[in-house]
A and B are shown apart, each in its own frame.
Chain A
Amino acid sequence: MQTIIATENLTKMYGPHVALDEMSLKISSGATALLGPNGAGKSTMIKTLLGLIQLTSGEGEVLGYNIRTEGDNIRQRIGYMPEYDCLTPEMNAIHQVKYCGELTGMNTNIAMQRAHEVLEYVGLRDQRYREISTFSTGMMQATKLACAIIHDPELLICDEPTNGLDTKARGFMLDTLFQVVKQGDRSILMCSHLMDDVEKICDRIVMIHKGKLIAQGKIEDLKAIDREIEIWVWGGASRMEDAMIDAGLKPRRTGRVMRVVRQDETTYDLVLELAAKAKVQIRRMEDYEPSLEDLFLVIMERLGYGVKSSADLLKSQPPTTAIAPLPSQPGGNF
């Protein structure tokens, strides 16, 4: 586990606007996620790691090369998979990927051969001679991935790799990325908003907000959210809630879902006993494992950005001016 990215007090200001604020990161090899709400400075961070930005102050090293002075060396060893479209629609996939290899400095023949290998790896073996304009979103994402890994980079930076993919394509993309880390023994830095995806692939996260580093480390190490038992009650949730309150448990409830703090092993037995007495069905009971999304939301709450609950949304009442019915509308409003 070596450190592949290390930065020290990186600061970048665009005039008065602070894009990066004294970032001191340390990212080790393996799969890491770069998280943060929109506008947190992730793009600037990525551009900085690619060595494309002139920093206001601070130092940094990626794969052992200085960010400020050795940008070319960094970009030879990094693969970047952008979020938005970046392919020429009129080209064939194989030629586009080959060109990407040549741009990195590969010889034409080697680039061509490697392009075949890499397109087969991402699952586009049968479609590699087709024009990119005929590709579905899933195939385009796979081609972008192929462009990024053609030169076998040590670090792969992916920006929203499952953007716009349907379930099957998403699963395949995530599997492919996972294999790159495991089989290929490469490192991935993944930016995504889908916490489920992140949890599948990455075990460490780096979270930034407004240019500042909020959290970094293993997901497991960061979580200390209350351990609760979650139950789904069918057919009398209110009775169950009352029974639990009477028994001294303090359940939280939303509709038919309830959670109680797990005090010890006997809490399970108590819950089932109460359910039997109240004659309700317990369709699900499990230790609620706080997910990465919960972690994210709790962190944002700590920073002062709550999510509007339904109660808040209901506070503002709609104005009661009526819409004049259009002449051809039969019968008026329902």
Chain B
Amino acid sequence: MIPDLSQVGTGETKEWAPVAEAPHIMLDHVTKTYGSVMGLNDVSIAIKGGVTGILGQNGAGKSTLFKLIVGRLRPSSGNVHLFGTNPFKNPAPYSRIGYVSESEHLYDWMTGLDFVATLARLYGYTREEAKERALHVLDFVGLEDVANKEIGKYSKGMRQRVKIAHALVNEPDLIILDEPLAGCDPLARTTIMNVVRELGAMGKTVLVSSHILSEIERITEQILILHNGRLLALGNLHAIRELLDQHPHRILLRTDNPRGLGTAFLPHEDVYGVRFPKNDELVVETNNLSSVHQALPGICHKSGIRVTAIENPDDNLESLLGYLIEGRS
């Protein structure tokens, strides 16, 4: 869930005492410039728990955001807080982060189990503990059958999963996944999506970045959109769509008798127009989606006209990005 930002400080520097309700990630009017190039421009975000999809074109500021969160970069202005503390050059929160990067390099000569167990030891576990945790986490991602095979022999999907496993071995509260589904076959993809959803349901904060919108839509409804270093939108995708008032909402119904059904909708106070783009389609235009949808089943049933499909044609990520980024109407 994303807490209400109005509770966050408005630029005053406060001492951030770690409080149980503090968000996992907090960016307070953060700007990051690289010389004259803008990385992030006045971005304020607070996230605690759940799966958030990070969207944006290449160069929009996603990797800058990740690096600021894990403390590899310091903001040019503003504050970054990770679990309530400043992460820059501060190794304290590292034990609670798992980061799965886009890079392909793994230790090909090690077995999956060795790899995860060795990296676990870096967190300070004993040898036995590390091995036990490694086994558990490999099981979690579905690699228990091939744990003793060399990583060099893994398929792409297995490599992605072993990367995720190694990031999970210390039970982090924050997991960042940069393009985790690249190159995976549908089986591996679906498994990884299940893993990610499960992590979110457990209360961890998961940030997933991907270019493939249909995959993000399957994983989560909470999204964060960056464009040219600015934060365009943050929150539930449907809620964001509802907030975009300048693009009226449309409900598309497929029916044999669109004109008759349209007449049934017109009396509703929130419907301001109906259109008939094709002779089996009715489009109802409204500014209050919820109220019309609430009344919709009743209207359809009362009118006795058969409706075979109901859809909000622009309530998806692709249209949303289109409205926000390209100014299309």
From B3-11, B65-73, B179-187, the one touching the partner chain is B179-187
Given contacts A307-B191, A313-B140, whether A328 and B186 have CB atoms under 8 Å apart is: no
Task: Tell whether B273 is near chain A: CB-to-CB under 8 Å.
Answer: no
Which residues of the other chain, A, contact B259 by a CB distance below 8 angstroms? none
Task: Tell whether A302 is near chain B: CB-to-CB under 8 Å.
Answer: no
Q: Are A38 and B133 in contact (CB under 8 A)?
A: no
| Total contacting residues, chain A, CB less than 8 A | 59
Contact of B297 among A167, A280, A330 (CB under 8 A): A280
Task: Tell whether A105 is near chain B: CB-to-CB under 8 Å.
Answer: no
A279-323 interface with B by 8 A CB criterion: 279-287, 293, 296-297, 300, 305, 307-310, 313-314, 316, 318-319, 321, 323
Which residues of the other chain, B, contact A39 by a CB distance below 8 angstroms? 155
Given contacts A38-B185, A293-B186, A314-B198, whether A281 and B294 have CB atoms under 8 Å apart is: yes
A310 to B191, CA, bound (A): 9
Which residues of the other chain, A, contact B214 by a CB distance below 8 angstroms? 196
Q: How far is the CB of A169 from chain B (nearest CB, A)?
A: 9
Which residues of the other chain, B, contact A326 by a CB distance below 8 angstroms? 91-92, 95
Q: How far is the CB of B70 from chain A (nearest CB, A)?
A: 15
Task: Tell whether A265 is near chain B: CB-to-CB under 8 Å.
Answer: yes
Task: Tell whether A224 is near chain B: CB-to-CB under 8 Å.
Answer: no
| Total contacting residues, chain B, CB less than 8 A | 69
Q: How far is the CB of B294 from chain A (nearest CB, A)?
A: 5
Q: Are B158 and A38 in contact (CB under 8 A)?
A: yes
Q: Are B20 and A286 in contact (CB under 8 A)?
A: no
A296 to B182, CA, bound (A): 18
Task: Tell whether B324 is near chain A: CB-to-CB under 8 Å.
Answer: no
Q: Which residue of A lies closest to B90 (CB)?
A: A328
1/0 contact string of A254-288 vs chain B (CB within 8 Å): 00000000000100110011011001111111110
Q: How far is the CB of B194 from chain A (nearest CB, A)?
A: 6
Given contacts A38-B188, A193-B185, A196-B214, whether A319 and B132 have CB atoms under 8 Å apart is: yes
Q: Are A272 and B297 in contact (CB under 8 A)?
A: yes
Q: Are A269 and B92 in contact (CB under 8 A)?
A: no
Q: How far is the CB of A309 from chain B (nearest CB, A)?
A: 7
Task: Tell whether B106 is near chain A: CB-to-CB under 8 Å.
Answer: no
Q: Are A323 and B296 in contact (CB under 8 A)?
A: no
Q: Are A286 and B309 in contact (CB under 8 A)?
A: yes
Q: Are A268 and B308 in contact (CB under 8 A)?
A: yes
A15 to B45, CA, bound (A): 57
Q: Are A334 and B20 in contact (CB under 8 A)?
A: yes
Task: Tell whether B41 is near chain A: CB-to-CB under 8 Å.
Answer: no
Task: Tell whether A121 is near chain B: CB-to-CB under 8 Å.
Answer: no
Which residues of the other chain, A, contact B197 by a CB distance below 8 angstroms? 310
Contact of B194 among A281, A293, A308 (CB under 8 A): A308
Task: Tell whether A203 is near chain B: CB-to-CB under 8 Å.
Answer: no
A283 to B95, CA, bound (A): 42
From A66-74, A87-95, A158-166, A178-186, the one touching the partner chain is A158-166
Q: Are B155 and A37 in contact (CB under 8 A)?
A: yes
Q: Are A309 and B183 in contact (CB under 8 A)?
A: no
A77 to B17, CA, bound (A): 69
Task: Tell whether A324 is near chain B: CB-to-CB under 8 Å.
Answer: yes
1/0 contact string of B259-301 vs chain A (CB within 8 Å): 0000000000000000000000000000000100110111011
Task: Tell whether A234 is near chain B: CB-to-CB under 8 Å.
Answer: yes
A-B contact pairs, 23 of them (CB 8 A): A37-B155, A136-B58, A166-B57, A166-B58, A170-B211, A193-B184, A196-B214, A234-B290, A281-B296, A281-B297, A282-B293, A283-B312, A284-B311, A284-B312, A285-B310, A287-B308, A313-B194, A316-B139, A323-B123, A324-B124, A330-B92, A333-B96, A334-B173
Q: Given A282-B310, A285-B311, A326-B95, 11 more contacts at CB 8 Å?
A: A167-B57, A167-B211, A167-B213, A170-B212, A272-B300, A281-B297, A313-B194, A319-B129, A323-B171, A330-B17, A334-B18
Please give the residue numbers on chain A whose beta carbons come within 8 Å of chain B beta carbons, in ascending order: 36-39, 136, 160, 163-168, 170, 193-196, 234-235, 265, 268-269, 272-273, 275-276, 279-287, 293, 296-297, 300, 305, 307-310, 313-314, 316, 318-319, 321, 323-324, 326, 328-331, 333-334
Which 6 A-B pairs have CB atoms at the shortest separation, nearest pair first?
A: A38-B155, A275-B297, A331-B18, A276-B297, A281-B293, A329-B92
